[in-house]
């Protein structure tokens, strides 16, 4: 069974990991790093499953039920926002102290490793410094908020977002029309997971409506309303702001070309009569600034602070009085 077969857009990574398995030249720790939703966890599972299956002919029986005795997955507990030191000690240190039951390796995957508390990271560092010979630890992280001392003890595998063209082709091959595929691919931000989510049911239409509501609230409201709007942005902040950015781009492009064929969302033109007296020079700069500011969504910067700054950047461009 090829556990890597469903991974999209990460051919370079898959080729490397298959080579590691075929040559049996494993590092004791790996860091899978890249933005959210581009297949890191899926690849980590495929790597672990394939490695386990290489020395356990009946591995599929256990892996199908996620109960293989030589695989452990660590993630933040329900109701918690961080991975604790206690989890690292109990679920990794103590678990790795036991030799493999059915395979050559005991494999631990730490999902969202960037959410480890400093105490948890220091506890993991001790394990990485003197790991049992049969150990493989895979850290899956959405950003680089990982102790440098941990990074230096891992083989770092960088994951790149899929290109917009690749995401579009992925959707076209699954039967979506040209307009749908184009719009979704732009908003997906290189994430196949985002693309599939947006392609399901009314997700794309709902996202567009929410983005329009944000623009209208920013346009009609005073400073307090702008802050309130920023505060209401949820875990989909980056996706929502990208949609807002796309609508603003459509408005700017139409102003410059007067051609609808260049628009990602033709309905964006409905806002032209609502957002009157737009300063198009400021709008062009705002789009550039928003694109630059979005990269901080995967950093340690407070998301609310970022959302407020972006909302005020939008306000300055679309509300001139």
pLDDT per position as a tens digit, 233-242: 766 688 788 8
pLDDT at residue 144 in the model: 65
Q: What is the mean pLDDT of residues 245-268?
A: 82
Instruction: State yes or no: pLDDT of 58 exceeds 70.
Output: yes
How big is the chain, counted in residues?
Answer: 321
pLDDT at residue 299 in the model: 67
Residue 69: pLDDT band with limits 50, 70, 90: very high
The percentage of the chain sitting over the pLDDT mark of 70, rounded to a whole number, equals: 96
pLDDT at residue 105 in the model: 96
Q: Report domain extents, the chain.
A: 11-158, 201-318
- Average of per-residue pLDDT values in the chain: 86
Name the CATH architecture for the domain at 201-318. Answer: Up-down Bundle (1.20)
Instruction: State yes or no: pLDDT of 232 exceeds 60.
Output: yes
pLDDT at residue 83 in the model: 92
pLDDT at residue 19 in the model: 96
By mean pLDDT, which of 162-171, 214-223, 293-302 is the weakest? 293-302
pLDDT at residue 26 in the model: 96
Q: H/E/C letters for each residue in the chain?
A: CCCCCCCCCCHHHHHHHHHHHHHCCCCCEEEEECCCCCCHHHHHHHHHHHHHHCCCCCHHHHHCCCCCCCEEEECCCCCCCCECHHHHHHHHHHHHCCCCCCCCCEEEEECCHHHECHHHHHHHHHHHHCCCCCEEEEEEECCCCCCHHHHCCCEEEECCCCCHHHHHHHHHHCCCCHHHHHHHHHHCCCCHHHHHHHHCCCHHHHHHHHHHHHHHHHHHCCHHHHHHHHHHCCCCHHHHHHHHHHHHHHHHHHHHHCCHHHCCCHHHHHHCCCCCCCCHHHHHHHHHHHHHHHHHHHCCCCHHHHHHHHHHHHHHHHCCC
Residue 7: pLDDT band with limits 50, 70, 90: confident
Instruction: State yes or no: pLDDT of 272 exceeds 80.
Output: no
pLDDT at residue 300 in the model: 64
Each residue's pLDDT tens digit, 71-84: 999 999 888 888 99
Sign of CA dihedral 37, 92, 128, 136: negative
Residue 321: pLDDT band with limits 50, 70, 90: low
pLDDT at residue 243 in the model: 84
Instruction: State yes or no: pLDDT of 202 exceeds 70.
Output: no
Question: In whole angstroms, how far apart are CA 47 and each of 72, 107, 122, 195, 300?
Answer: 13, 10, 26, 24, 29
Each residue's pLDDT tens digit, 11-53: 899 999 999 999 999 999 999 998 777 889 999 999 999 999 9
What's the pTM value of the predicted model, to 2 decimals? 0.68
For the domain covering 11-158, report its CATH number. Answer: 3.40.50.300
184 vs 16, higher pLDDT: 16
Q: How many CB atoms lie within 10 A of CB 251?
A: 23
Nearest alpha-carbon partner for 145 in 301, 275, 307: 301
316 vs 52, higher pLDDT: 52
């Amino acid at each position: 069974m090829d556990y890597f077969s469903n991974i999209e857009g990460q051919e370079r990574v898959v080729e490397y990991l298959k080579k590691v398995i075929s040559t049996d030249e494993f590092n004791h720790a790996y860091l899978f790093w890249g933005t959210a939703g581009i297949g890191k966890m899926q690849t980590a599972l495929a790597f672990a499953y394939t490695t386990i299956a290489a020395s356990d002919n009946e591995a599929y029986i256990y892996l199908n039920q996620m109960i293989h005795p030589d695989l452990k997955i660590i993630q933040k507990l329900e109701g918690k926002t961080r991975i604790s030191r206690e989890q690292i000690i109990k679920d990794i240190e103590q678990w790795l102290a036991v030799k493999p039951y059915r395979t050559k390796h005991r494999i631990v995957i730490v999902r969202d490793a960037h959410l480890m508390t400093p105490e948890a990271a220091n506890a993991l560092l001790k394990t990485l410094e003197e790991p049992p010979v049969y150990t493989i630890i895979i850290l899956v992280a959405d950003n680089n908020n990982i102790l440098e001392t941990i990074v230096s003890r891992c083989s770092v595998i960088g994951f790149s977002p899929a290109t917009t063209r690749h995401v579009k082709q992925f959707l076209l091959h699954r039967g979506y029309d040209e307009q749908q595929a184009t719009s979704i691919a732009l908003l997906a931000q290189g994430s196949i997971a985002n693309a599939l989510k947006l392609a399901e049911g009314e997700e794309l239409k709902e996202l567009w409506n929410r983005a329009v509501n944000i623009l209208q609230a920013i346009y009609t409201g005073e400073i307090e309303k702008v802050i309130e709007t920023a505060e209401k942005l949820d875990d989909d902040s980056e996706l929502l702001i990208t949609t807002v950015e796309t609508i603003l781009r459509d408005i700017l492009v139409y102003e410059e070309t007067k051609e609808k064929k260049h628009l990602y969302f033709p309905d964006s033109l409905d806002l032209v009569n609502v957002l009157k007296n737009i300063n198009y020079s400021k709008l062009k700069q705002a789009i550039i600034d928003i694109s630059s500011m979005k990269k901080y969504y995967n950093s340690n910067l407070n998301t609310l602070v970022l959302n407020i700054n972006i909302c005020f950047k939008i306000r300055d461009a679309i509300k001139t009085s």
